[in-house]
Chains A and B, each alone.
Chain A
Amino acid sequence: MMELLRMEAHEIAAAVRAGKLSARDVLEATLERIASVDGIPGTIGGDPGAEPDKIHAFITLTAERARAQADAVDAKIAAGEDPGPLAGVPFTVKDIFVVEGTPSTAGSRILANYIGPYTATPVERMEAAGGVMLGKVNLDEFTFGSSNESSAFKPTPRNPWDTSRVPGGSSGGSAAAVAAGEGWLSLGTDTAGSIRQPAAFCGVVGLKPTYGRVSRYGLIAFGSSLDTPGPVARSVRDAALMLQVIAGRDPHDATSAAVPVPDYLAALEKDVRGLRVGLSPDYFRIVRAEGGELVEEPLPAEIKQAVLDTAERLANMGVEIVEDVPMPHNRYGIPAYFVIARVEAASNLHRYDGVKYGYRTPDRVADMREMYRKSRGQGFGLQPKLRILMGMYVSAAQYSERYYQRALQVRTLIRRDFEAVFDPEGKYRLDALLTPTTPTAAFPMGAVYGDSVLMQYADQLTVAANHAGVPGISVPVALNSEGLPLGVQLLGRDFDEATLLRLARAVEDAAAFTAKV
């Protein structure tokens, strides 16, 4: 069985399409794997400390639905039809996507009883391509976090490399599941780093595509101008395979782009010789606001080293490494994100009011206002409440100019940093920037949670790509001294995931990182 689990998704699909492997057999092996490593799923009121050596990636396992899909794939093969490029590949979905007929909870009590009435576009595309959905995996409540510990569904996911540590977040269930061999692919979302950071923590590949590359229809919104669905996979090739399926214009999403989708798998075959990759000093330090002062700290040496080693290996392959690339506004990424994401989140969370669906207080209430207050007060956890309060505050008429409008200006400046270094006529003419993905490796559970400001600095190296809308990918390259995975990040031009994947493939090849499974 381990042999099957070590295959890559594209190999599974090829074998199923060739009739050498049945989708049902692949699924049963995966379900067995889940049964042996995952432990009890997250539930409302569950024991956070239960089964501390298990992964707990899932909220909802939809085994019967998956069996029906696998059988349908096999039936197509038997009938001589092609089930599609993901034929028989089991995948998981972050429970921030609505899927028809399945609980779609956002990791929150307020949606714990919500059954999706329709299916999110990326999920629909994966299923239409022959993929087999295993179920919905855990996340930070409404994706508000970087460790998965804010989920209302306990126990929360643990890092497969060391189950005393967090898997990262908010797509922690996705990264943990893929790393632990519970499905080959997972559909995550990235608003400030929520795909790339957990991918780095769990030693897997995480791709945040260009904003507009993948439809957001069915993604329960957090920061609508930042949210980006994307693949979590065990290899760059598998991430490319998945992006191929989910990318492209969707008539249900006005912000999805009509830009043609290139052949990502073909792009992987191209040489990286001659590509220009930049290193920026602004990505080798962390700048935090502390008591009104900006405090600058260098990154841990082994994280910086992992990036420099990667750069050297790329240079050996003929990539031109450009040093000292200035990204001066990177340091303002988190404060600007703090404001923009909260304004959008507060508005996006308005609809959870106990009126139409989801949690409604069982208490007797005097009037409608009280019903709102109690339903929202009891239904939302701490993180949504903090974001609503802050979001309401900074978008109020008297403060909007000072905070929200200013944050939008900062966002424009961050975008200009990228435009300058990617400008083909400019000084740097980069094809990509190479940076660390995270300032630390996976931290112990309970170590950071509770300090929501500090928690957000986990995203300092990733958030700029969300502000700018550009694509980014995290690739695992090494283990640190504690045996935990470290990831490097490549950031690229708008809609140029092909070049990013091509470079990521080279990074992956050269690093020879060994997956957990």
Chain B
Amino acid sequence: MEYEAIIGLETHIQLNTETKIFCNCKADSWGEPPNTNICPVCTGQPGVLPVLNKAVAEKAVLLATAMHAEVQRVSYFDRKNYFYPDLPKGYQITQFDRPIAIGGYLDLPMPEGYTRRVHIIKLHIEEDAGKTKHANGYRLIDFNRCGVPLIEMVTGPDLRSADEAAQYLIRLRQLVRWLGISEGNMEKAHIRCDANVSIRPKGADYLNPKTEIKNVNSIDAVREAIATEIQRQIREVEAGGKIEPWTLEWDEDAGVLRKMRSKETEADYRYFREPDLLPLVMDEEWKARILADFPELPLERRARFMAQYGLPEYDADILTTERALSDYYEAALQAYNGDPKRVSNWVINEVLRLLNERGLSADQLKVTPQYLAMIIRLVDKGTVNTSTGKALVVKVEDTGKPPKKIVEEEGLAQVSDTGALRQICEKIVAANPKEVEKYRSGKTSLIGWFVGQVMRETRGKANPKEVQKILRELLG
């Protein structure tokens, strides 16, 4: 029998606010010693009260809008009560039945060419708990992460394969970075994902019991864990077994799923309204202020690049991975005012390499889009050759000087003066009688070697076409 997988994802997105959700402690404690960014509020001292960081609501509205979700005019905070040592108040402040946004969807363009629409059920704001570590028979607790703001987003059971799940996370990560609401680094747990997985005969319209996979910390791991679980469920069903609603944990090193617990009884968290916080009222004025500079979204921009500039899907996809890069591309194209594909090639090959090597984002470059356009123009006009042009990208980045100035200062302009070139070519031919003989006896491929010698002599400035022409004449 043929099966299809039914997958829903629950993601927690760590927001990149300066301070925590309910106090003034620094939110990002990556790499810092335990219990250094804490205060009476986030460690749950007696008598303290939470005060909402408005930036959290604002970032949630940005994400909700990007997901086409309905932002609620009034939402509420609730207490989720449970005991755990790294939950200092003994309850988590979250949103339960009246979250900040409801509904929405994300359209995933799949590499195979089809589009998968993933529905969003709800999107809510909550605080993170701390971290527990076991060492030498002790539980060690780090409260730094307590009160770090999270958005939890739950999808419908709309994904049909491990690849689709991975694609969702890739697009979500791209989106949160694009919106500037999260660093979106899965290795740093900025996006955490739990996956609900079930299978059914292809084309069936009912849902079977599902399992929940927790603790998957990278997109590859999500893909692998889900694929593994789908295979396990198929084997189980084929063997006449039944799928139990287990909670599973992905062991990345071993590449296996382990059963954490059976899920027969749901814990009762005794949710009730958080009396220490007022309802969150998102009035039209506030919402309008938040959305005033709402950007074109990555998938929209990707489609526009293809339609407006005639770029191949591959180029459009790469250019829109990061907002800064796509802004860079468009600015360079505008300054260049020519073939969009030619600018795309330079950005994808030269600029992207530079960004990767130096760990920069496009808006931090000293090779501004305008400088890049100038460099391409210099190459187009034959003022410099292509390899000098590529070297110029790095030189401008290193010095911050305009490309033309570097060309002048370093004498990089291409030598096309045939008199001067001829002199150099004659010198090279005279100095290498053996190679001349070989060439003349038929090994004409040596022309490349002769050109190379001339290029070396001119420190790369010679116009290679002109050189080849003269050499053929001299050797002919």
**Residue of B40, B46, B90, B270 contacting most chain A CB atoms (<10 Å):** B46
Interface readout for B63-104 with A: 1 if CB under 8 Å, 0 if not?
Answer: 000000000000000010101010011110000000000000
Q: Verify B46–A216 contact, CB threshold 8 A.
A: no
Q: Which of B47-55, B177-185, B187-195 lies at the binding interface? A: B47-55
Residue of B nearest to A393 (CB): B270
| Distance to closest chain A CB from B137 (angstroms) | 12
Interface code B19-57, partner A: CB below 8 Å = 1, 0 otherwise?
000000000000000000000100111111111100000
Residues of B within 8 A of A9 (CB): none
Q: Of A221, A225, A349, A396, which contacts B268 at CB under 8 A?
A: A396
Measured CB to CB, the nearest residue on chain A to B41 is A252
Chain B residues near A392 (CB-CB < 8 A): 270
Known: A224-B275, A355-B141, A400-B272. A120 touches B47 (CB 8 A): yes
Closest B residue to A404 by beta carbon equals B272
Residues of A within 8 A of B52 (CB): 254
- Could you say which of A118, A349, A404 contacts B40, with CB atoms under 8 Å apart? A118
In the assembled complex, B335 has its CB within 8 A of some CB on chain A: no
The answer to whether B51 touches A344, judged by C-beta atoms less than 8 angstroms apart, is no
Does B276 have its Cβ within 8 Å of any Cβ on chain A?
Answer: yes
Tell me, in angstroms, the Cα distance from A127 to B298 when the chains sit together.
Answer: 56
Question: In the complex, A357 Cα to B47 Cα: how many Å?
Answer: 13
Known interface pairs A117-B45, A350-B90. Does A254 touch B270 (Cβ–Cβ under 8 Å)?
A: no
| Given A111-B46, A255-B276, A392-B270, also A350-B89 (CB < 8 A) | yes
Bound complex: CA A397 to CA B80 (Å): 12
Which residues of B lie under 8 Å from residue A280 when comparing CB positions? none
A449 at interface by CB-CB < 8 Å: no
Report if A106 contacts B (CB, 8 A).
yes
Majority DSSP secondary structure for residues of A touching B: loop
B139 at the interface (CB under 8 A from A): yes
Closest chain B CB from A122 CB (angstroms) = 11
Looking at the complex, which one of A106, A218, A347, A353 makes contact with B272 (CB distance below 8 Å)? A347
B277 within 8 A of partner (CB): yes
Q: Please, which residues of chain B bring their CB within 8 A of the CB of A347?
A: 79, 81, 90-91, 270, 272
Residues in B neighbouring A350, C-beta threshold 8 A: 81, 83, 89-91
Decide: A225 and B275 in contact? CB cutoff 8 A. yes
Q: Does A220 contact B (CB under 8 A)?
A: yes
- Taking CB atoms and an 8 Å cut-off, the chain A residues in 110-124 that contact chain B are 111, 114, 117-118, 120
Provide the bound-state CA to CA distance between A225 and B91, in Å. 17
Residues on the B chain within 8 Å of A395, using CB: 81, 270, 272
Kindly state the separation between the CA atoms of A254 and B45 in the bound complex, as whole angstroms. 17
Q: CA–CA, A227 to B48, complex, Å? A: 13
Residues of B within 8 A of A346 (CB): 81, 270
> Which of B52, B79, B278 gathers most chain A CB within 10 Å?
B79
B47 touches which of A98, A355, A368 (Cβ 8 Å): A98
Asked if A219 lies at the interface with its beta carbon under 8 angstroms from chain B, I say yes
B48, B52, B139, B278 — which one has the most chain A CB atoms within 10 A of its CB?
Answer: B48
List of B residues within 8 angstroms of A344 by Cβ: 272, 275
A359 close to B (CB within 8 Å): no
Chain B 123-143: CB-based contact to A (< 8 A → 1; otherwise 0): 000000000000000010100
Q: Is the pair B272, A356 in contact by a Cβ cutoff of 8 Å?
A: no
Do B40 and A353 touch (CB < 8 A)? no
Q: Which of B83, B85, B270 has the most CB of A within 10 A?
A: B270
Which A residues between 392 and 413 are near B, CB-CB below 8 angstroms?
392, 395-397, 400, 404
Query: Of the candidates B44, B50, B272, which one forms a contact with A351 in the assembled complex, judged by CB atoms under 8 Å apart?
Result: B44
Contacts of B44 in A (CB 8 A): 351, 356
Task: Give min CB distance, A214 to chain B, whole Å.
Answer: 13
B47 A254 Cβ-Cβ under 8 A: no
* A residues in contact with B48, CB < 8 Å: 118, 217-218
In Å, the complex CA distance between A356 and B44 comes to: 9
Residues of B within 8 A of A120 (CB): 47
* Residues of B contacting A98 in the complex (Cβ-Cβ under 8 angstroms): 45-47
Secondary structure of the B contact surface, majority rule: loop
The reply to whether the CB of A253 lies closer than 8 angstroms to some CB of chain B is yes
Q: CA separation between A449 and B277, bound complex, in Å? A: 35
Q: Report the Cα distance A348→B378, complex, angstroms.
A: 71
A120 and B81 alpha carbons, distance in the complex (Å) = 25
Which partner residue on chain A sits nearest B45 by CB separation? A117
Which residues of chain B have C-beta atoms less than 8 A from A349's C-beta? 90
Docked Cα-Cα span, A395 to B46, in Å, equals 22
Complexed CA–CA distance, A392 and B271 (Å):
11
Q: What bracket does the count of chain A residues touching chain B fall in?
A: 35 or more
Residues on B with C-beta less than 8 A from A218 are: 47-48
A410 to chain B, nearest CB (A): 16
Bound-state Cα–Cα, A114 to B44, Å: 13
Complex: how many Å from CA A98 to CA B81? 24
Q: Which residues of A contact B85 (CB under 8 A)?
A: 353, 355, 368
Report B312-340 residues with CB < 8 Å from chain A CB. Answer: none
Closest to B274 in A: A224
Q: Which residues of A contact B277 (CB under 8 A)?
A: 254-255
Judge if A484 is at the interface, Cβ distance under 8 Å. no
Q: Are B270 and A397 in contact (CB under 8 A)?
A: yes
B47, B51, B79, B83: the one within 8 Å of A219 (CB):
B47
Interface status of A97 (Cβ within 8 A of chain B):
yes
Tell me, yes or no, whether A470 is within 8 Å of chain B by CB. Answer: no
**Which residues of chain A are within 8 angstroms of B47 by Cβ–Cβ distance?**
97-98, 104, 120, 217-221
Closest-by-CB residue of B relative to A227 is B275
Which residue of chain A has the shortest Cβ distance to B52 in the bound complex? Answer: A254
Which residues of chain B from 124 to 170 have a CB within 8 Å of any chain A CB?
Answer: 139, 141
Write out, one digit per residue, whether chain A residues 342-370 have a CB within 8 A of any chain B CB (1) or not (0).
Answer: 01101101111101110000000000100
Q: Are B90 and A353 in contact, CB atoms less than 8 angstroms apart? A: yes
Flag if A351 contacts B88 (CB, 8 Å): yes
Query: Which residue on A lies nearest to B51, using beta carbons?
Result: A254
* Residue among A216, A217, A255, A347 facing the most chain B CB atoms (10 A cut-off): A347
Chain B residues near A352 (CB-CB < 8 A) = 46
Tell me the bound Cα distance from A287 to B88 in angstroms: 41
Whether A251 is near chain B, meaning CB under 8 Å from some CB there, is: yes
Query: What is the CB-to-nearest-CB distance from A463 to chain B, in angstroms, rounded to a whole number?
Result: 16
How far is B90's CA from A253's CA once the two chains are assembled, in angstroms? 20
Q: A347-B79, A350-B83, A372-B83 are in contact. Are A254 and B89 (CB under 8 A)?
A: no
Separation in Å of the A115 CB from the closest CB of chain B?
11
Whether the pair A351, B278 counts as a contact (CB closer than 8 A) is no
CB-based contact B268/A254 at 8 Å? no
Q: In the assembled complex, how far is the CB of residue B93 from the closest CB belonging to chain A, in whole angstroms?
A: 11
Given contacts A117-B40, A372-B83, contact A252 B49 (CB under 8 A): yes
Chain B residues near A351: list those with CB within 8 A: 44, 46, 88-90
A-B contact pairs, 25 of them (CB 8 A): A98-B47, A104-B47, A117-B40, A118-B40, A118-B48, A217-B49, A218-B48, A221-B46, A221-B276, A225-B275, A252-B51, A253-B51, A255-B49, A255-B275, A255-B277, A344-B272, A346-B81, A347-B91, A347-B272, A350-B81, A351-B89, A355-B85, A368-B85, A368-B139, A400-B272
Q: Which 4 A-B pairs have the closest CB atoms?
A: A350-B90, A225-B275, A224-B275, A395-B270
Q: Enumerate chain A interface residues (CB-CB to B < 8 A).
A: 97-98, 104, 106, 111, 114, 117-118, 120, 216-221, 224-225, 251-255, 343-344, 346-347, 349-353, 355-357, 368, 372, 392, 395-397, 400, 404
Given contacts A117-B40, A353-B90, 8 further A-B pairs with CB under 8 A are A104-B46, A114-B46, A219-B47, A224-B276, A254-B50, A346-B81, A347-B81, A372-B83
User: Which residues does B use to contact A, with CB under 8 Å?
Assistant: 40, 43-52, 79, 81, 83, 85, 88-91, 139, 141, 268, 270, 272, 275-278
